[in-house]
Amino acid sequence: MASCGIAAGGGPVFDRLHELLDSREDVEIKKVGCIGFCYMEPLVEVEKDGVCVTYGEVDSALAEEIVRKHVDQGEILKEHVVLHNADEAPENPRMENQVRIVLRNTGLIDPENIDEYIARDGYKGLEKAIREMTPMDVIQEILDSGLRGRGGAGFPTGLKWKFAHLAKNDKKYFVCNADEGDPGAFMDRSVLEGDPHSVLEGMAIGAYAIGADEGIIYCRAEYPLAIKHLNTALDQAREKGFLGENIMGTGFNFDIHIKEGAGAFVCGEETAMIASIEGKRGMPRPRPPFPANSGIFGKPTNINNVETLANIAWIITHGSKEFSKYGIGRSRGTKVFALAGKLNKGGLAEVPMGMPLRDVIYEVGGGIPDNKKFKAVQLGGPSGGCLPEELLDTPVDYESINATGAIMGSGGMVVMDESTCIVDVAKFFLSFVQKESCGKCPFCRIGTKRMLEILERISEGRGTLEDLDLLAELAVQIKDGSLCGLGQTAPNPVLTTLKYFRDEYLAHIEERKCPAKVCTTLIHYSIDPEKCIGCTKCARNCPVEAISGEIKKPHVINDDICVRCGKCIEVCPVGAVTVE
């Protein structure tokens, strides 16, 4: 019952199950978080004597059948089974291909019940850290694991903690960056909604390591369910003595409170976040001084991403070697990816670092729907880039992805097919950056606007070849002239698309054509008079009344009024509408 499950229709299914089973002693109904199989939601799992059967695309009617046949008579409804832990099932490979460390509990426990977290080694990491290890022992363990920041920058977590630990001050802050703002990323949301205690425990261990007594979770306000579950988790953790004064009787004091964001992407940048926490406009600051030495109200501050923190307790309980055995090169451990876009099996998947991009998209993601052709995969959000088919064998690790000109980023992967226009995508990212730029640095504030104007010109068929040189020149200047990561990486989508999809730009400029048939000024809808049967369906459904014609006579679309919404194509019974 995470946001996606509810949005897919899980609410009525849950209610129906409650109606049928509430009064029964022999059956327990549990709400759990997101298991990452979003393409099959709503999902219902039936567990008995250790055998777990998961049904997909469940509605109220199927829920009733599940109760009647499976629960009451032990008869499994094979056609609807998607996962089975003791037998074959169509989606089992998707589960078996994963190594679920961050997602170890998500989808399996009730996030509003701390006892379920505790039953799965919950808070054992904290106990081991504060009872058996010194702060430097903890830091060394995290260093040895090779864990790097999962928010996108990939800075070694152990090293960040070490700096904060070494800063001399009796007041330090430990912050969790839950501002997941990358469009296309929802890994953090799932962990916050489905396993909030993993984050709290990670924070407590980190606070112990650096010597902080106050923790802050900066969570974006667009995640109300995550905030609700975090608040419940905080209350429960305090009740059990895992947070607060004298934790587990060791004299270690640490408590956490939540600060809600207010809709500013730039606040995901650490110095902007610090400004926001201080109650100011979220504008970045120059570094040095680094937050580890001078952060919130001038005190040493350590900020880590949600996914980074969700790894911590597991690493402490299992040991750094168990974590670092996964991965390649300098990218150890696993990474959670949010797969979306033109994909059959969108959702979350946690895989070892170094898996080839091709496998993530086709093996785990199920490939492109409707047999359409793969065009590009967007990695790293607005700071990243679009990679073409030729680069699909690139392993997904920090260094390999950086070498392509994109970045791994927070893990959002948006797949695009032949119906996506790359120029439109570059324009989309620039308009995003334009909206979210805080305005402090002229190159970011004005430079991205100029880049956006050029892209708008190109998408409207008014671009020139000199525009491409101008884009490249502006890109370099914006990178150099920006104080924070937002501006420094804003040109990346344009640079990667210019590098790998130059042909598409040229088509827009030299031929005034949009090959993907997206850019509205460059495409024209028309009705083939030979095919049209004059049924008037198109004219009646056109939202702007752009189509005229008499019954049983061929209809005509007025190009000047047409908004290219595609409704006429959808309703025409004979396929008479074409797009050129």
Q: Using CB under 8 A as the criterion, which residues of the chain lie in contact with other proteins when the complex forms?
A: 3-4, 6-8, 38-39, 41, 180-186, 188-189, 221-224, 259-265, 276-282, 296-297, 338-342, 346-347, 378, 381, 412, 414, 416, 420, 425, 428-429, 432, 435-436, 438, 543-544, 563, 565-567
Minimum CB distance to other proteins smaller for 551 or for 563: 563
Q: How far is the CB of 325 from other proteins (least distance, A)?
A: 30
Q: How far is the CB of 126 from other proteins (least distance, A)?
A: 27
520 closest CA partner among 565, 558, 453? 565
Minimum CB distance to other proteins smaller for 114 or for 396: 396
Please give the full DSSP string across 398-421, using - where no structure is assigned: HHHHHHHT---TTSEEEEEETTS-
Please give the full DSSP string across 51-106, using - where no structure is assigned: EEEEE-S--HHHHHHIIIIIIHH----GGGEEEESSS--TTHHHHHT---STTSST
Q: How far is the CB of 186 from other proteins (least distance, A)?
A: 4
Q: How far is the CB of 565 from other proteins (least distance, A)?
A: 5
Minimum CB distance to other proteins smaller for 65 or for 456: 456
Instruction: Confirm if 471 and 427 have CB atoms less than 8 A apart.
Output: no
Instruction: Confirm if 354 and 395 have CB atoms less than 8 A apart.
Output: yes
184 closest CA partner among 17, 13, 316, 337? 337
Query: How far is residue 103 from each of residues 187, 437, 486, measured CA to CA in Å?
Result: 9, 32, 28
Distance CA 187, CA 298 (A): 31
Output DSSP code: residue 425. H
Q: How far is the CB of 321 from other proteins (least distance, A)?
A: 34
Minimum CB distance to other proteins smaller for 163 or for 428: 428
Minimum CB distance to other proteins smaller for 138 or for 562: 562
Q: How far is the CB of 373 from other proteins (least distance, A)?
A: 15
Minimum CB distance to other proteins smaller for 251 or for 279: 279
**Tokens found for residue 318:** 């299992």
Q: How far is the CB of 185 from other proteins (least distance, A)?
A: 7
Instruction: Confirm if 196 and 190 have CB atoms less than 8 A apart.
Output: no
For residue 220, report the phi and psi dihedrals to the nearest 5 degrees: -65, 145
Distance CA 78, CA 74 (A): 12
Distance CA 559, CA 552 (A): 22
Minimum CB distance to other proteins smaller for 116 or for 436: 436
Q: How long is the chain?
A: 580
Q: How far is the CB of 338 from other proteins (least distance, A)?
A: 6
Q: How far is the CB of 220 from other proteins (least distance, A)?
A: 8
Q: How far is the CB of 89 from other proteins (least distance, A)?
A: 20
Minimum CB distance to other proteins smaller for 33 or for 122: 33
Q: How far is the CB of 205 from other proteins (least distance, A)?
A: 25
Parallel, antiparallel, or unpaired for β 412-417 and 374-379? antiparallel
Residues 6+ apart with CB under 8 A from 348: 34, 36, 38, 103, 186, 187, 190, 336, 337, 338, 339
Distance CA 361, CA 345 (A): 9
Minimum CB distance to other proteins smaller for 135 or for 411: 411
Label each residue of 317-329 as H, E or C: HHCHHHHHCCEEC
Minimum CB distance to other proteins smaller for 7 or for 61: 7
Q: How far is the CB of 24 from other proteins (least distance, A)?
A: 30
Minimum CB distance to other proteins smaller for 328 or for 565: 565
Minimum CB distance to other proteins smaller for 172 or for 342: 342
Q: How far is the CB of 78 from other proteins (least distance, A)?
A: 25
Minimum CB distance to other proteins smaller for 381 or for 485: 381
Parallel, antiparallel, or unpaired for β 327-328 and 412-417? unpaired
**Tokens found for residue 449:** 């606007």
**Tokens found for residue 528:** 């083939």
Minimum CB distance to other proteins smaller for 218 or for 314: 218
Instruction: Confirm if 436 and 266 have CB atoms less than 8 A apart.
Output: yes
Please give the full DSSP string across 145-173, using - where no structure is assigned: HT-B-TTTT--BHHHHHHHHHHS--S--E
Q: How far is the CB of 7 from other proteins (least distance, A)?
A: 4
Residues 6+ apart with CB under 8 A from 115: none
Distance CA 10, CA 225 (A): 15
